[in-house]
Amino acid sequence: MRFFNHKILNKIYNFFIVFLSLLAVILCFLDLVNKINISIKPYNYIDNVILIVFTIDYFTRFIISKNKKKFFINNIFDLIAIIPFSSVFRATRLLRFIKLIRLTKFFRLLRLLAFMEKFKNHAKNFLYTNGLIYLIYTNLVTITAGAFSIYFFEKGITVKSLGDAFWWSFVTATTVGYGDISPKTTAGRITAGVLMIMGIGFISLLTGTISTYFINKTSNQHSGTSLKQNYEDLPKEAQNEIENFISYIRNKYK
């Protein structure tokens, strides 16, 4: 949805939302695997800023939307993303109960999925270029499978917790490889090899996708300029007929 008539401002705003969505995904993931605590400084400040921006974004789009019911259904993940689950649980003091502590884990995962969906919605044109979205899903499955595999094969040897396993799997798949966790078993090394190969493939496709995306963007802009020029060259009567037809289609499928 466009907030600004100016194309540059609209692009800057969309880029800002995509950036915040990606940042939220990273923070929620690290919090989920217990690498950070999102309820303490400085992470809670960042989380609160993201929450405020997304809340303003959601309700602004809701107010200006013509079909409120359709908007609510289509943006259910955006609504989940702005629910401050940690604050709700602290306010009601439910964290005293062990079963509900597990429930907070579920809501953390739910919030992570909501942020991922929001990021996908705002960046879908880029994500579907060259089928990048499918490779991302494949890599997420591979990273998850790699984490559980290394946890099973290396538990008590090099990996102490499932959080460590996810961290190792992530940095290995992104070809960073800090070296803080190095598999000792044959099965663990095979898992590392598969993750590295998938990571190299992902980085290669990502580079190509970025190039293709901007090439297509430039091409579409030129096509749009040419189409506009052709429209302006038409007689006034033909322009009016086109505008009436567009208005008819918009009213019919509103």
Residues 102 and 177 grouped into a single domain: no
Q: Based on the fold, state whether residues 93 and 175 are members of the same structural domain.
A: no
Q: How many domains are contained in the chain?
A: 2
**In angstroms, rounded to a whole number, what is the distance separating the alpha carbons of residues 197 and 76?**
36
Residue 94 in this model has a pLDDT that exceeds 50: no
Half-sphere exposure of residue 130: CA atoms within 13 angstroms, side-chain side: 19
**CA–CA gap between residue 78 and residue 117 (Å, rounded):** 8
SS3 155: strand
**CA 38, CA 25: separation in Å to the nearest integer?**
12
Task: Decide which of 94, 122, 150 is a domain's last residue.
Answer: 122
Same-domain pairing of 138 and 112: no
Could you tell me if 86 and 130 lie in one domain?
Answer: no
Confidence of residue 89 (pLDDT cuts 50, 70, 90): very low
Q: Does 69 have pLDDT greater than 50? A: yes
Q: Are residues 15 and 58 in the same domain?
A: yes
Q: Could you tell me the end-to-end alpha-carbon distance of the chain, in angstroms, rounded to an integer?
A: 15
Which pLDDT does position 226 carry in this prediction? 56
**pLDDT one-digit tens code per residue, 170-216:** 888 877 666 667 788 888 889 888 888 888 888 887 777 777 766 76
Sign of CA dihedral 16, 63, 243, 248: positive
Q: Which helix (H) or strand (E) holds 122?
A: helix 98-122
Collapse the DSSP code of 49 into the 3-class scheme (helix H, G, I; strand E, B; otherwise coil) and give the result: helix
Q: Which domain holds residue 98?
A: 1-122
